[in-house]
Structure 1
Amino acid sequence: MYTQQLKEGDDYSKLNKTIGIHILNFTSITDTDKYHNVFNLHEKDTGRKYFSDIELHTIELNKFAKGAKEDISDIVEKVKNALDMWLAFLTRHDLLNKDNLPKELDNKDLKKALTVLEIINFTKEEREEYEDRLKWLRIETNTLKKAEARGEARRNIEIAKNLLLDNVDINTIMRATGLIIEEIEKLKTEIEDLKK
């Protein structure tokens, strides 16, 4: 995967940094309590770093949640950065309410993730109700857009009529209203018929 970034004949210096992320629900690294570890390739005997643009991150969820009781404050205490916020979500989303998040977790993307999780867990009836509501909202939005377009079209017709009454040339009316020449000619004929 790393070298697939290259096209035939490309130089290796064009490779982008590659990061592998392993989110584990078990302890993999037993000699540390750190839940986020970063590994690089190095030479076995000298320890010389090799391919500094390849990293492997391991995130052990059970170490992050270790010691936390059934209270949101225990998890919130552990949140020091964006990674911690997402680990709080992954380990204890059952304690999080998108409408009442502590300030350490008050983030629009986290709220969106909680909403998605909520939808995923809907019963069949709740999902159908949700889909019906979305369908209704889309129809309503589409209806409003069509009504706005009709209103704008009427406004442009009125502007064109007024400009025709003021003897403004057709090209200027087309630029001002967005109407095509045939529409303006038709309006001009209607106005002339009314004058008869």
Structure 2
Amino acid sequence: MEFSAADFERLLMFEHARKASEAQYLNDPLDSENLVKWGGALLELSQFQTVAEAKQMLNDAISKLEEALTINPGKHQALWCLGNAYTSHAFLIQDFDEAKGHFDKAAEYFQKAENEDPGNELYLKSLDVAVRAPELHMQIHKQGFGQQTLGGGGGGGDPSASSNAGVVGANRLGDK
């Protein structure tokens, strides 16, 4: 897989964020903000992996984000990132019914994020995309793009500075 200079910089930045979050976790495992950063970094890094590696990294991201929610259940950034993680994971699954379950979870998390931060346009847009994503999934997998490696994308970390990972990943898959 080839990376642009910008992709390589993003990869380095999110790998640094992942390592910093991992170190911070050892000092303060109850820091929900750090867990969201860690989960977001893993979500971003998953976009640069093979499908199998991306699935594992997304599972790790989901674990960190769920841990953040056990500490702070109303943390809308964690809810939004979880929606992105489930959306991204769904696009990596060929079986439509299994993927649909992930899209449904994503929509639930986006709705919960919007409930915690009413009127947030990014959360509303993410919810809309999650509802339409199953159709896009069918198109992508019908064209045979579903098992290629991913290349750079967004979706983790700070919702104000990122895009929807699943949509970006799907668009990149469709471009190849």
Please report the TM-score for the alignment, with normalisation by the length of structure 1: 0.18
Q: Which has the higher contact order (CA 8 A, sep 6+)?
A: 2
Structure with max Cα Rg: 1
Higher strand share: 1
Higher helix share: 2
Please report the TM-score for the alignment, with normalisation by the length of structure 2: 0.19
